[in-house]
Structure 1
């Protein structure tokens, strides 16, 4: 990305919000004509109120969209910061200021334009149009108004951004910088070579320990006992009798019955209902001739259907009509199909389409699954129903027992035949090492670390820790947050300090070499020359490559020193600077568009800020709730 964009972070953040959270989906209100009470207003734009409810709705809508987009990666905390909430309010204010300008300019979208948009969007599907309105919580007139508004806003945005122009000299210069190649030689001073020179004293270890106390902090921990209430707890108390199975079977016999299944084929000789008698006679005669052939050789049905049938839908399939359903065919054909046995061929049958010869290729008679075959499935279904009801009853009783005898888990465990388990070293936040264990769920940890649980060692409430899984716990022992003793971490600190001191020695050696090289221009000790550019993967450490590309090269050779992560200290000698022999034309074209778009978006941001001043915006609250009454 270009330096220009890196240096305009605030602008790019606002741009990202405007692009990702457009007004069509953010606000979630059908009109700007909100007359909310002053007490409920969070901002005033051109005399119109933005209410707390609208702000809250905008925040919920944004979180819902990102929840759908990100799935398990969604983190609600990202959207609950004061900065995130303020960004949404800023966007609402900018939107209102733009809407006020639309009204002042009397910008309108004609019915013809709206109809054209709908034709492209919904392709004439009225149901889709209505469903879209309903999904947004709008009536169809409300959707029309919303689309007109957004199109009017787009007109202003397009007009402002289209005026942006990036001079060729600017785009060429930026692309040249992106294509610039620097020939660099590397000399690394590995920190490992200086470890033997490091002497770490007890004072140095103590100083590190005191300065970095948070590194050795042990969070508060709990040793707890717990019981799990699961579907298995209920299963042993539920039984299904043979009489219940038989009763269910009798009352739901249709569910175990299959109707007759017939698969048929036909050969059709076309003859319209209003065709001349001679034409009908000829068609009938042809059908009779085909039937005569079939009487001699019934196995030829599919071959003759492909050759002679005039039904384009089935002829290529050998006359196959598929599985027959009541009402799917005209009555004479349907009657003939249901009169035939499997493999039997009908006489010529006349219908409004012509003359048919029909055969049934497969026939499965209606059947009822015997009770013995259905018994297992019925019993499982009945047990599932009973368990669902019983689970609710017992879960409530489980919760009540925990509350009524809150000084021990044993009464609940005994009553429901549960085992009291113990878990040590629980912290307030879930541990990755414990995975999806019920006692590692955020809800249970919140309950076990509650004030009532910690102080009085009462049972927690029954917490939902998974599908049909309840967990309740009780604190056995609480360990407040503490700091690991120095003696326990001294060895680890010694290693850490040794590495850091070795890195300092490596840097000192590297800086001395760089000073000497600058003075003499001598390249002794440096490695082979490598080419570094912004448009290609660097052949050296990325941090070093960034420093090389930022270095002042007005005078060559130029030198730069860099701490190379995991290695030591690197000194880099830049001996030559040039442009790529064959510039990437497509990339340069894309860069011109990128720069123009960025300038257009900057213009739009500035224009919106001007409109906010014109609309006399007054923000009445901050995300934290403090009144500012700032203009």
Structure 2
């Protein structure tokens, strides 16, 4: 495969230069410009430029990945923050520092390592044919779709592998004593026998007697809990390609025209099923070896022609294709694109039952027998009609949206007192909703009335005061929305008299929790002073727990149980419980737990070494950054931060 991607060596040298020429190749024309014009720069690392264009692309890439992961829950405002943008830029700076170290240390990767890395990519590994050959044409098309050539991809992978050597060497040199792993394993498997006594706040509510002043004080301190949030009744209209698509109905003539224009996508290419006998010839074979292989292939062909019914047996005996020899040379069904051209041309020229003469390819000499054929098939219009209708509707909706979008935006602005003109002109439905300033947690995130951008526009001063239409807001996915406030209700604090009982219950809960904690702390103190006087009443049965098997204990409780000093038993711990109560746990016994598993100890040691390696790698990167000359620019192109004045 590397022979294929080496076919344009000059291109390889150009892309390699792009990685090693500081300040120019790394960033192209924009970086060259940035040597004199800082307005195009995001950062400068030891003289190498990170362009604004590269930084913006990294920001877009992160936002796109987040949007793909979160779907309807994606909120751009969560990611488009100064802290997030600086983190992205810091990551680019770190990558540039590692790249410079890779270059300065003259690190590289072998052809074999590059080959293995490329073939480990699933999309590329799938291009390997059943006969072991590689589909170079499909490989080139796959790279071209990403804007890359074979040599470029080869050198990008080589440089990435070389860059990884730094972090890998640090990680593999990290050392953690085996005794530490054994100690940690002992902690993980340690077993403690415990029993608990829970004092629930609900049992102390009757003792809580809040005064009127207590209730009023709680109300005054928690106004937010008793405030009805501001809300607005709105109406809105949505212009979307999706809705316009659903409203369009293509004619039979349009459907027929599309079918004929795209007939190839409804055709299945003809296939043949063939068996072959391969007499392999290595690429570096001498002329004498090639001649010897050809003579042997001709002898096998004579035998095949003499006994065509013995083709499978001869394939098992003579074929040097490990993938098909044991199957009598059977390759199954394939189309032209799945085989190298000489093989495909010969196979598709044969009729069922025919045997070829010798066919030479890069792999050697083939003798081919076609055992079955499948003709090309064109799916009838009736079978694909529904799919065509959907495609045409989508195209029509997109076209109409493109044509109407500007007019929609202008109309909701010009007729600012009503959405009806826009609804009438574009056939839209005026919808209504009651909304608050922030998206409702239990509402449909795809609903425009729950969109953060729409809510921000609705609750702007202009929209609230004038009750004018908002500007057309782009929702993405070819959709625009405009809304207007019909009625607005400001946030309102409910009078004390209306919520007094609610406030009283809150105070009772607080006091009951305080009483439970006070009683629990007193009991805990008494137990620690006189453990022999512990009565079984109220305590749960003894349970054996480990860190990995808490037996229903919550994480805070489990943490306290295992933090307790078990040098002298019984030991007691106290912890607050979620409902405001208090719990006491007695530790009666400590055991070593399960017998140490050497495999588990080895895994723990590997994990600790990995953590140590990551820590050391982070320290190495921090040291690189500290001694580097790094300048970070603000949006105006001025230096906003200079990490170091020079590289020393």
CA distance in 1, matches of 2:77, 2:601: 40
User: What is the RMSD of the two structures over their aligned residues, measured on CA atoms?
Assistant: 5.8
Alignment map for 1:59-458 (pairs within 5 Å): 59-68=59-68, 76-103=76-103, 106-109=104-107, 113-123=109-119, 143=153, 146-227=156-237, 398-415=408-425, 420-430=430-440, 432-433=442-443, 436-458=446-468
The verdict on how the C-alpha distance between 1:596 and 1:323 changes in structure 2, with shifts beyond 3 A counting, is closer
Cα deviations by residue, 1:35-89 (Å, 9 ceiling, x for unpaired): 6457445555444454544444433334444445555565544543444334334
Q: 1:483 to 1:397 in 2, by over 3 A?
A: same
Deviations 1:314-343 (A, max 9, x none): xx9xxxx99999x99999987xx9xxxxxx
Matched-pair contact (CA < 8 Å) for 1:86–1:622: no
Specify whether residues 547 and 134 from structure 1 end up closer, same or farther in structure 2 by C-alpha distance, changes over 3 A only.
farther
Q: Against the structure 1 CA distance between its residues 245 and 114, is the aligned structure 2 distance closer, same or farther, given a 3 Å change threshold?
A: closer
CA distance in 2 between counterparts of 1:47 and 1:608 reads 18
- For 2:354 and 2:38, locate their aligned partners in 1 and report how far apart those are by CA, in whole Å: 82
1-side partners of 2:118 and 2:51: how far apart?
33
Find the aligned partners of 1:488 and 1:239 in 2 and give their Cα distance. Answer: 58
Counterparts of 2:270 and 2:149, CA distance in 1: 48
| Aligned match of 1:546 | 559
| TM-aligned CA distance change 1:460 to 1:621, over 3 Å | closer
Q: If you compute each CA radius of gyration, which structure gives the higher value, 1 or 2? A: 1
Deviation of 1:424 (Å): 3.1
Q: Could you say what secondary structure the match of 1:162 adopts?
A: helix
Distance (Å, rounded) in 2 between the aligned partners of 1:53 and 1:61: 12
Secondary structure of 1:576 counterpart: strand
Instruction: Identify the match of residue 502 of structure 1 among 512, 515, 540.
Output: 512
> Alpha carbons of 1:129 and 1:509: their partners in 2 closer, same or farther (altered >3 Å)?
same
1:577 matched to 2:590? The reply is yes
Contact 1:122 1:128 in 2 (8 A): no
The equivalent of 1:58 in structure 2 is 58
Residue equivalent to 1:605: 618
Provide the aligned length of Structure 1 versus Structure 2: 552
| Residues in 1 aligned to 2:97 and 2:270: alpha-carbon distance in whole angstroms | 69
Checking the alignment, whether the CA contact within 8 Å between 2:248 and 2:396 is kept in structure 1 is yes
What is the alpha-carbon distance in structure 2 between the residues aligned to residue 67 and residue 204 of structure 1? 48
1:245 touches 1:375 (CA, 8 Å); kept in 2?
Answer: no
Supply the distance in 2 between the matched residues of 1:43 and 1:555 (Cα, whole angstroms): 60
Of 474, 477, 489, the residue aligned with 2:487 is: 477
* 1:239-278 deviation line (CA, Å, top 9, x unaligned): 8889x689x689969979x99x99999xxxxxxxx999xx
Structure 1: runs of 5+ lacking an equivalent = 1-23, 266-273, 288-304, 338-347, 354-359
Structure 2 SS opposite 1:535: coil
Q: 1:560 to 1:49 in 2, by over 3 A?
A: same
> Structure 1 residues 128 and 328, CA, compared in 2 at 3 Å: closer, same or farther?
closer
Q: Secondary structure at the match of 1:205?
A: helix
SS at match of 1:537: coil
Contact kept in structure 2, 1:222 and 1:477, CA below 8 Å: yes
How far residue 509 of structure 1 moved from its aligned partner, in angstroms, is 1.0
TM-score, L = length of structure 1 = 0.67
Q: Secondary structure at the match of 1:187?
A: strand
Provide closer, same or farther for how the CA distance between residues 68 and 154 of structure 1 changes in structure 2, counting only shifts above 3 A: same
Residue aligned with 2:549, SS: coil
Which residue of structure 2 aligns with residue 589 of structure 1?
602
Deviations 1:484-543 (A, max 9, x none): 433443333322222222111111111111111111112213333222322323442332
Q: 1:31 aligns with which of 22, 26, 35?
A: 26
Q: Is the 8 A contact 2:241 2:394 kept in 1?
A: no
Q: Which moved more, 1:373-382 or 1:447-456?
A: 373-382
Counterparts in 2 of 1:235 and 1:531: CA distance versus 1, 3 Å: closer
Q: For 1:137 and 1:250, how far apart are their aligned partners in 2?
A: 30
Distance (Å, rounded) in 1 between the aligned partners of 2:562 and 2:465? 60
Q: CA-to-partner distance for each residue in 1:86-143, whole Å, 9 max, x for gaps? A: 433443444444444445xx53245xx4311222133577567756866776666655
Change (3 A) 1:613 1:167: same
Match of 1:512 among 505, 522, 530: 522
Report the 3-state secondary structure (helix = DSSP H, G, I; strand = E; otherwise coil) of the residue aligned with 2:173: coil
Q: 1:517 to 1:621 in 2, by over 3 A?
A: farther
CA distance, structure 1, for counterparts of residue 27 and residue 425 of structure 2 = 60
Residue in 1 that maps onto 2:534: 523
Q: Check 1:199–1:438 CA distance in 2 against 1; reply closer, same or farther (3 A cut).
A: same
Deviations 1:412-466 (A, max 9, x none): 4455666655433454435533564443344443443344422322223445668
Q: Pick from 507, 530, 550: which aligns with 1:537? A: 550
CA offsets 1:215-256 (integer angstroms, 9 cap, x no match):
3344332112334557899799988889x689x689969979
1:158 CA drift (Å): 3.1
Question: Distance in 2 between the 1:407 and 1:47 partners?
Answer: 57
Q: Helix, strand or coil for the counterpart of 1:459?
A: coil
* Deviation, structure 1 residue 593: 1.1
- Maintained 8 Å contact 2:270/2:374: yes
